[in-house]
Structure 1
Amino acid sequence: MNSNRLQFFYGIGFTLLIAIVSFGIAQLPVFNYIGPLATAIALAFFYRQFFGYPHKLKNGIQFSAKILLRAAIILYGLKLNIDVVFNEGLPLIVKSSFVIMLAIIMSYILAKLFKADMTLSMLLGVGTGVCGAAAIAAVAPIIKAKDEDTAVSVGIIALLGTVFSVFYLLVRPYLPIEDVAYGIWSGLSLHELAHVALAAEPAGEEALSFALLAKLSRVFLLVPLCLFFIWYMRRKENRTGTSKVAFPYFLIGFVLMSLANSYVIGNYVEISDQVMELISQLTTLLLTMAMIALGLNISIKDVAGRALKPFALIFAISILLGMFVYVIK
């Protein structure tokens, strides 16, 4: 095996090694709230600042950043049960549509108003409105975001989602809200699926079920949102004459996995809960490896100045979104 091929596999192995370390650290107190994704990005970020980018391993790292990321998004489709959303969550889809539109429109307007970095702001708006890291990763290639911007956005969303989910837990006993309504509030306003589960689980099984259903209604809207961004970017290209946007074909895989989970698994093919849990863990592992690969691209000199305003704006937007959802829940 020649040295280039070895370095390719070493690059993939490098992201896998940091991912495994991240999963271990994420089991520790405090870090268990942050989760493996944010921990992984932080580790990759610090590695880059202290040791530089491992250029010899670039091809393998890029494979993790591109191919494994797309594989993770495809497998993420297995978390979405379209049939359940259609049968039980149609009113939630309407509310989710407002949540997503509000998050993105506010991100755009405030970024313009305060002259914040537009790419970071839009990625953060998408991550806040839809489903965190998976939504950011799906939209990033469409709007031609840099790898470092994708990683920074995912890190910010992971951090904010953790802060807000803990805040929800702390204020729940003092709010005049029933458990199911609290679950819906969590599912419609919190950033990641894990954050929704963290916030809603103490409210009971029924509250958690409605929280996850509300969250799935937002995940369901990821594909139409991506199609909207493709239309917008191609329309923009026609005016400016810039290079064309490639269709993100991994979204087809996401849809097929969603359909399989909704109508095939359990009806025509029996897959045990243990196997589905293993697939879910594999999805998280692949996504974590991809985030590490992206995180290695973060240069503090390039990002620090651009990330501050988008972070402040999305923090404010998350507060407004939480208040809005509390009213309409």
Structure 2
Amino acid sequence: MDNITKKIPGFALSLAIAIASYYIAKLWLPMLGGATIALFVGIVLGNTWLQQPVLAAGTKFSEKKLLEYSVMLLGATITFQSIQQIGWHGVLFTVLQMSCTIGFAIWFGRRLQFSEGTYLLMAGGNAVCGSSAIGAIAPVIDADNEDTGIAITLVNLMGTILMLLLPVIGTLMWGHNNELRGVLIGGTVQSVGQVVASATMINQGTVVTATLFKILRIICLVFVVSGFGYLHQKKQSKVSDTKLSEQLLAKKSSLVPWYVIGFLLFCVLNSLRVFPSQFGTLCHFLSTWCETTALAAIGLRLNLKALFSQGKRLLAYAGGLVTVQVVLAILLITLLF
């Protein structure tokens, strides 16, 4: 009971920021979305007036557990039938786009001498689904809070930039072709909310295509989390320390964490039409609020001094990754569609 009481202040503050951000987005900044606003409000407050230790337990709980719940609930909002609507060329585009994005993010991150946590989280966040992917990957690779906070901040910033730029780029490249503009947005932009907001700037036809491609990327989350977990364990297993090796062996059974298994189970059951339509709507609602509250907590816990200490390298990393993503997507669309 005492442990729960310690978490209340930080959780309540994170939820309050999430609620305020929701209404700010609804009334004044609908294109940014409540989740992105909650992250930046949390960063401002957490690095100015709200640095009290009493908030730590609650914000840590909100950051870790709520993102995990959000990932699991996301499975009840998608179905495997979506793949049939995309076709083989759409599947091939998504696999190549995600694989190359991940490969470049890892290679470039190593060249810039970032930690494993930073470059794997950046790779997964950009290739799959932003904050949700980062939240799913972080525990599997033992990423620390600093790496997680930096990755989520950068991925949301990059997603916001792409959200605004891609409708313009897509129109310049392919005119009024809704399918190709939708593929570009759905195959590149980071979070679900940013994909929908970006495609809405064009028209409803683009929203449908972009959402389908985004769903396919989310389905691939299971493989990305499992793959990154394997890479991390393989790297750690090279350490000769016997005690560490024993710890790693004990963790082999958790290569795929519970929330990813839950995500996959929900996705399978939803594809089999087990759930009523209202259940998917409820899960989407809960997943959105879990993510928004978690991002508020992450903002409160993010140390801006640590972020700015790596400023030039981080900007080079983020800028290079975004540029490669967009150029690669345009090239693949030109070749495959």
Q: TM-score, normalised on structure 2?
A: 0.87
Offset, 1:117: 4.5
CA–CA distance in structure 1, aligned partners of residues 123 and 320 of structure 2: 11
Query: What does residue 151 of structure 1 align with?
Result: 149
Q: Structure 1 CA distance, aligned partners of 2:328 and 2:125? A: 17
- How far off is 1:10 after superposition? 3.0
Matched positions, count: 322
**8 A Cα contact 2:174 2:180, kept in partner:** no
Which 5+ residue runs of structure 2 have no aligned equivalent? Answer: none
Taking the aligned partners of 2:15 and 2:4, their CA distance within structure 1 comes to 17
Out of 300, 314, 318, the position equivalent to 2:318 is 314
Structure 1: 5+ residue runs without aligned partners?
none
User: How many Å apart are 1:251 and its aligned residue?
Assistant: 0.6
Amino acid at match of 1:270: P
Match of 1:249 in 2: 258
Identity %: 22
- Residues 1:171 and 1:225: Cα distance change in structure 2 (over 3 Å): closer
**Which one is further off, 10-19 or 170-179?**
170-179
Q: Contact between 1:197 and 1:208, CA under 8 Å: does it hold in 2? A: yes
CA distance in 2, matches of 1:202, 1:39: 19
In structure 1, distance between residues paired with 2:316 and 2:285: 32
Question: What RMSD in Å do the two structures reach over aligned CA positions?
Answer: 2.3
The answer to whether the 8 Å contact 1:11/1:57 transfers is yes
* CA positional deviation for 1:310: 2.9
- Superposition pairs for residues 1-329 of structure 1, below 5 Å? 5-29=4-28, 31-86=29-84, 88-177=86-175, 178-240=177-239, 241=241, 242=244, 243-244=247-248, 245=251, 246-247=254-255, 248-265=257-274, 269-272=275-278, 276-306=280-310, 308-329=312-333
How far 1:203 sits from its partner (Å)? 3.9
What is the identity, as a one-letter code, of the residue corresponding to 1:214? F
Q: Deviations over 1:110-134 (max 9, x none)?
A: 2222334443232122111111111
CA distance in 2, matches of 1:260, 1:24: 33
What is the CA–CA distance in structure 1 between the aligned matches of 2:140 and 2:76, rounded to whole Å?
22
User: SS at the partner of 1:32?
Assistant: coil
Matched to 1:261, the amino acid is N
CA contact (8 A) 1:89 1:217 kept: no
Partner AA of 1:298 in structure 2: L
Of 174-183 and 113-122, more deviation after overlay is shown by 113-122
Provide Cα deviations, 1:254-287, integer angstroms capped at 9, x if missing partner. 111111221134xxx4333xx6434322211111
1:274-329 Cα deviation digits (max 9, x unpaired): x6434322211111111222222211222322354233222222122212211222
Runs of 4+ in 1 over 6 A off after TM superposition: none
